[in-house]
């Protein structure tokens, strides 16, 4: 049972973080808060990918001359780290675009509240 | 940015910090072969050093560092460094971004790959720095158009 | 409407926790994604990269080798995405023509 808990608690924390992000997207009325919820959602996916890359008793994926490379269990899996590095940068860029769009909306309608925006548009 | 007086204490602190952050950014880019780091992380640090002066000093002081019209050409230069590296490798008879065929004389193919990775990391760092600064500048400008 | 949202949230959480309980143990070196050879007999990319990155590019940092060499076209596409995001901010916010 303890083994099961130690092997899975990281996933459950990721699920909690996903739910926090989804809560922000679903319940908040302000568009900026919705965007923050999206960012939290994205960060939780990044954390999940980083957590599945781990191995017990392994070191970071930088080759050390004293640790043999031939035994794969000595190094963390570097592939999820690379994929998440790209995902983080794209996330920052898309977050910038999202906030730019919000600024354009605010310049035009003068509000960021979802309900007021719907009334303004009609 | 709306009119507000800059605080001399904050400005002095940022002026003290900025060159070291920028130096550390270049260190992270160039030492990325031997430690955690690389183009994206170093580019973000460079952008932090530029944005620190912009936030603390306002538009008048930041004009002395990197001007607003310079960010777009810097980003284009970063992308072109990356693309040209791949294109040169293709013109030398290999695949796109196949660094082995880059025209470095007197080196074994693995070392040519080492230098090819370094060139594209510098391109990535430049592009990421310029684009983060560009997004900030456009947000500040866009506020004025309201 | 609010009750529906709460139900959606709880369903989402329970489905994900149920699915997460079937995942392999975190950090176990015998996981399939950490093996040297997959069940179909092909080489697993992560293990191949750990073993051969230094011979291929003489660079100790394996993540840098993947980012700049093995998956370099992917990185180029991502750089273009970031560049396009920067251009989009110009197009949206510096548009001097008033639309209202």
DSSP track, C52-72 = HHHHHH--SBHHHHIIIIITH
Cα–Cα dist B16/B22, whole Å: 11
Best mutation target among B1, B69, B131 (most C Cβ atoms within 10 Å) is B131
Check if the beta carbon of residue C83 is closer than 8 Å to that of residue B73: no
Number of domains in chain B: 1
pLDDT digits (tens, 9 = 90+) for B17-58: 999 999 999 999 999 999 988 899 999 999 999 999 988 887
Query: How confident is the prediction for chain A on average, in pLDDT?
Result: 91
Domain that holds residue B132: 8-144
pLDDT for the residue numbered B146: 52
Q: What is the per-residue pLDDT across B84-108, written as a single tens digit (0 to 9) for each?
A: 999 999 998 888 888 888 888 888 8
CATH number at residue A110: 1.10.287.3510
pLDDT of residue A32: 94
Q: Which residues neighbour C45 within 8 Å (Cβ) at sequence distance 6 or greater?
A: A79
Length of chain B as a residue count: 146
Residue B37, min C-alpha distance to chain A (Å): 11
Q: Where are the domains of chain C?
A: 2-93
Choose among B38, B123, B142: nearest Cβ to C67.
B38
Structural domain range at position A82: 2-121
Determine the residue among C25, C37, C56, C62 to mutate to test chain A binding: the one whose Cβ has the most chain A Cβ atoms within 10 Å: C62
Give the pLDDT score at B58. 78
Integer Rg of chain B from CA: 18
pLDDT band at B3 (very low <50, low <70, confident <90, very high): low
- For chain C, 100 residues long, the average pLDDT of each consecutive 10-residue run is 91 93 87 87 90 90 91 92 92 68
| Residue B27, pLDDT score | 95
CB-based contact B87:B99 (threshold 8 Å):
no
Sign of torsion over alpha carbons A118, A33, A12, C2: negative
Nearest residue to B45 (alpha-carbon basis) of B24, B15, B65, B69: B24
pLDDT tens digits, A10-47: 999 999 999 999 999 999 999 999 999 999 999 999 99
Which residues of chain A make contact with B36, given a CB cutoff of 8 A?
A: 60, 62
- Give B 8-67 residues with CB within 8 A of chain A: 34-36, 38, 40
Strand, coil or helix: what is C41?
coil
**Long-range contacts of the stretch A64-71 (C-beta < 8 A, 24+):** A64/C60, A69/C50, A69/C51, A69/C54, A70/C51
**Span A52-76, average pLDDT:** 89
């Amino acid at each position: 049972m303890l083994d099961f808990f130690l092997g899975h608690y990281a996933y459950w924390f990721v699920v909690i973080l996903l739910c926090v992000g989804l809560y922000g997207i679903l319940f908040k009325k302000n568009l900026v808060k919705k965007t923050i919820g999206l960012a939290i959602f994205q960060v939780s996916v990044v954390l999940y990918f980083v957590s599945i890359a781990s191995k017990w008793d392994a070191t970071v994926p930088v080759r050390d001359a004293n640790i043999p490379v031939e035994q794969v269990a000595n190094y963390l899996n570097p592939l999820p780290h690379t994929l998440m590095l790209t995902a983080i940068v794209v996330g920052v860029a898309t977050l910038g675009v999202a906030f730019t769009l919000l600024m354009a909306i605010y310049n035009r309608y003068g509000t960021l509240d979802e309900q007021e925006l719907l009334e303004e548009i009609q | 940015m709306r009119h507000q007086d800059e605080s001399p204490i904050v400005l002095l602190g940022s002026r003290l910090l900025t060159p070291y952050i920028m130096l550390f950014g270049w260190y992270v880019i160039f030492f990325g072969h031997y430690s955690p780091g690389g183009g994206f992380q170093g580019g973000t640090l460079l952008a932090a050093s530029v944005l620190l002066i912009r936030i603390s000093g306002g538009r008048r002081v930041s004009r002395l560092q990197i001007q607003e019209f310079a960010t777009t050409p810097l980003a284009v230069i970063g992308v072109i460094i990356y693309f040209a590296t791949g294109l040169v490798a293709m013109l030398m008879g290999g695949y796109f971004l196949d660094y082995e065929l880059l025209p470095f004389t007197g080196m074994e193919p693995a070392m040519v790959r080492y230098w090819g990775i370094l060139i594209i990391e510098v391109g990535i760092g430049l592009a990421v720095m310029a684009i983060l600064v560009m997004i900030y500048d456009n947000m500040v400008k866009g506020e004025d158009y309201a | 409407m609010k009750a529906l949202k709460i139900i959606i949230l709880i369903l989402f959480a329970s489905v994900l926790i149920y699915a997460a309980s079937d995942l392999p143990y975190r950090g176990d070196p015998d996981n399939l994604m950490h093996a040297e050879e997959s069940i179909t007999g092909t080489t697993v990319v992560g293990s191949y990269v750990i073993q051969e990155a230094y011979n291929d590019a003489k660079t100790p940092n394996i993540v840098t080798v993947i980012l700049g060499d093995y998956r370099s076209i992917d990185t180029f596409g991502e750089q273009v995405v970031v560049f396009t995001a920067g251009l989009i901010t110009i197009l949206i916010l510096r548009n001097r023509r008033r639309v209202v």
